[in-house]
Amino acid sequence: MADRRSEPEMPQAKRLRTGDMDPASNPYLAHHYEDEGNGYGSRNGGRNGGSTQTGLSGFKRHQTTAAQADVAENGPLNPFNNNPLSPRYFDILKTRKDLPVHKQRQEFLNMFQQTQILVFVGETGSGKTTQIPQFVLFDDLPHFNGKLVACTQPRRVAAMSVAQRVANEMDVKLGEEVGYSIRFEDVTGPKTILKYMTDGMLLREAMHDHNLTRYSCIILDEAHERTLATDILMGLLKEVALRRPDLKIVIMSATLDAQKFQRYFNDAPLLAVPGRTHPVEIFYTPEPERDYVEAALRTVLQIHANEPEGDILLFLTGEEEIEDACRKITLEADEMTREADAGPLKVYPLYGTLPPHQQQKIFEPAPPPTRKGGPPGRKVVVGTNIAETSLTIDGIVYVVDPGFSKQKVYNPRIRVESLLVSPISKASAQQRAGRAGRTRPGKCFRLYTEAAFKKELIEQTHPEILRSNLANTVLELKKLGIDDLVHFDLMDPPAPETLMRALEELNYLACLDDDGDLTALGKLASEFPLDPALAVMLISSPEFYCSNEILSLTALLSVPQVFVRPASAKKRADEMKALFAHPDGDQLTMLNVYHAFKGADAQADSKKWCREHFLSLRALQSADNVRQQLKRIMEKSELDLISTDFNDKNYYTNIRRALVAGFFMQVAKKDSSGKTYKTVKDDQSVLLHPSTVLQVDSEWVLYNEFVLTTKNYVRTVTSIKPEWLLDIAPTYYDISTFKKGEIRTALERVNDKVKRKQQTKRPGR
């Protein structure tokens, strides 16, 4: 038997097609081949023919057994493509059969065959993400009907890496029988029968195919994480299940709260599989700690001094806290090494905004002893929640958990999302502790009392849908064909006030009419992977003769901050930023940055150029990527790309007016005091964020976001003229709806001025 592939082959990522001629085609379904037949034979070019015997001959859909699958898996030919199986395949097969989930294959099949919706719970190490979809393939046989099995993941990296792993397990090339689909990258083809994808990607597909007709089975993995996309998909699948009795649905989750999923899906049957992890001993503090950071540092140093070999993971809440803690631990540990003969201690920070090469450092091995036979070295990783789910570090034996994390909260009353340091949930605490038992038995030190754990921590972190502004979600639901939002069955329905705010916002943006139905503009806006205000601004941009500029700006506003400001070089970074500054504000400054970045000088060596100018290359490249995607959607939607010459006297005014078309609800006016600003309608006192390039002589500003930290700030601001508000958003700026006060008076004055001008221009009217 020849090993056809000694080298793992990396997929040639298929980029989304540009300039697609078919207006009905969905840019997210790049692999929706027109020649896709109903039978497998036509899909793989007839290579197998219709009559060729495969390892699956004799398999009857939804009537197979684990024993049958076992025989087919033993070869000699690959049951899905009739190719000879490689030695590597058989090596992996052995380890697969040892996974806990394998013992329950028949039990799984019995349930899968008997019911439409199944809840499957498995702890880490059970093998559920890689094995269950394969179990499904052997029984659901999607290729017999020209369908696919989808398995969703909350994160891109997971979708990519699991797909690669399963392709190896099935001895197929990634992108053929097994593939993945994430934003910007679709590695699937006409032969694909198992597709790993992000939950957001499946949601996008559902917006164009409300019944998800391409799939014969949908597996939602990591459902317990309760991302916005997962929650919406669950609600949708519940409805689709009624319309499509042939569709199978598997909800996979961690053990906690399994009954909630069962109840939600009309008492769906449950299958539980044990995980394979090592025991973790939990320690609590006898008394509550006053200062959790100080207690955390003390605990880390005590572990280093007293506990046997093994690495430490400490959970803190944010960048600054982490960098500060790293400095302090390093100082103290060096002293311990010098004076108390402790082993060397290497400390690594870990948080999301850290560049990838620095994130990778956490995988470096612990330092060796300073001298032969001396006490062993140790590694400490000080990280945010990113270490709780997204990144797994093997070799961690000790976890220090102060019990806090930064969480997004939404206040519908003032329409502001903000980040708040809050106590974690029991589920989170359990997940954190589990990080100590990946390779051998470990210990977890909780810096709170056992009583606090039992009585004060909530069971689960509130799902994202209860903590977000839902404008975007409501638009998505409408596009999914859900007309009656109030009766749409979500697992945790959001507060009516939050829903009302979202409907109101979409109505002002003219995405929904007064009956709450999607308008033409709303339909267009839902095509874009953007917040509604950004989408509306982009769609309106041709009217303001600046589509190309707004396209760039929209992309820039939907990626992480492009300006880099390291603590060690604040002054220099500010000087560099000043080079790009536009007197009318930050949005125009960002546009200047983008134009410079696309210029010849910068493109010659973009890495060097970005470093010199204190800009994030990653963010700019990502903006470039987003821009391309948005441009394709604009072209497909037949939106004109109109711009004036750069030297046109209205070039920047046009852009500022286009900004108003999307962000007229995010405007503030300077107070009579001249120091602070007041937001229109809400009457919130705000300050311009100190990072702004705008000089404080601007009477009216439009802002991109409201940040609640030590003070109320509006960040990323542009100066605008009040007459534009009356002109571009007359419904929202209907003066009679404003309460008496400075803002109303100011608007009235502007209105009078405009009227007078019109009269002098057109006498007699």
Partner DNA sequence: GAGCACTGC
- Which residue ranges make up the site for DNA (CB under 7 A)? 28, 154-157, 182-183, 198-201, 203-204, 227-229, 317-320, 351-353, 384-386, 390, 405-408, 419, 472, 529-530, 558, 560-561, 565, 570, 574, 689-691, 707, 709-711, 713, 715
Report phi then psi at 131, rounded to 5: -90, -40
**Cα 38 to the chain's mean position, in Å?**
34
Q: How far apart are CA 540 and CA 637, in angstroms?
A: 13
CB of 558 to DNA, least distance (A): 6
List of residues 6+ apart from 567 with CB closer than 8 A: 323
List of residues 6+ apart from 729 with CB closer than 8 A: 508, 660, 661, 664
CB of 124 to DNA, least distance (A): 18
CB of 313 to DNA, least distance (A): 14
Q: Taking a C-beta distance cutoff of 8 angstroms, is the pair 157, 164 a contact?
A: no
CB of 198 to DNA, least distance (A): 4
Nearer to DNA, 143 or 204 (CB): 204
DSSP notation for 187-218: E--TT--EEEEEHHHHHHHHHH-TT-TTEEEE
- Helix 586-598 and helix 570-580, axial crossing angle in degrees, nearest 10: 90
Nearer to DNA, 422 or 606 (CB): 422
Q: How far apart are CA 669 and CA 343, in angstroms?
A: 59
CB of 565 to DNA, least distance (A): 6
CB of 167 to DNA, least distance (A): 19
Residue with tokens 């009309």: 266
Q: Taking a C-beta distance cutoff of 8 angstroms, is the pair 726, 754 a contact?
A: yes
CB of 390 to DNA, least distance (A): 5
Nearer to DNA, 251 or 350 (CB): 350
Sheet architecture: strand order including 378-383: 280-284, 442-446, 396-401, 311-315, 378-383, 345-350
Q: What tokens were used for 502?
A: 């979202």
**293: closest CA among 403, 428, 385, 402?**
402
CB of 185 to DNA, least distance (A): 8
Report phi then psi at 257, rounded to 5: 70, 20
Q: What tokens were used for 103?
A: 């013992």
Please name the residue ranges forming H helices in 458-528.
471-479, 496-508, 520-526
CB of 283 to DNA, least distance (A): 25
Nearer to DNA, 183 or 744 (CB): 183
704 torsion bin: left (phi>0), alpha (psi -120 to 50), beta (else): alpha
CB of 512 to DNA, least distance (A): 18
Instruction: Return the H-helix or E-strand segment holding 572.
Output: helix 570-580
List of residues 6+ apart from 261 with CB closer than 8 A: 119, 223, 251, 253, 268, 491
Nearer to DNA, 710 or 736 (CB): 710
Nearer to DNA, 154 or 437 (CB): 154
Nearer to DNA, 279 or 352 (CB): 352
Nearer to DNA, 471 or 726 (CB): 471
CB of 320 to DNA, least distance (A): 6
Nearer to DNA, 141 or 610 (CB): 610
- Helix 651-663 and helix 532-540, axial crossing angle in degrees, nearest 10: 140
Q: How far apart are CA 589 and CA 586, in angstroms?
A: 5
Q: What tokens were used for 664?
A: 């007229």
Nearer to DNA, 202 or 512 (CB): 202
CB of 30 to DNA, least distance (A): 11
Q: What tokens were used for 140?
A: 């659901």
Nearer to DNA, 140 or 231 (CB): 231
Nearer to DNA, 258 or 535 (CB): 535
Q: Where are the beta strands (DSSP E) in 362-517?
A: 378-383, 396-401, 404-411, 416-423, 442-446
CB of 709 to DNA, least distance (A): 3
Q: How far apart are CA 762 and CA 205, in angstroms?
A: 52
Q: Taking a C-beta distance cutoff of 8 angstroms, is the pair 676, 649 a contact?
A: no
List of residues 6+ apart from 234 with CB closer than 8 A: 220, 223, 251, 264, 490, 491
Nearer to DNA, 130 or 405 (CB): 405
CB of 567 to DNA, least distance (A): 8
Nearer to DNA, 644 or 691 (CB): 691
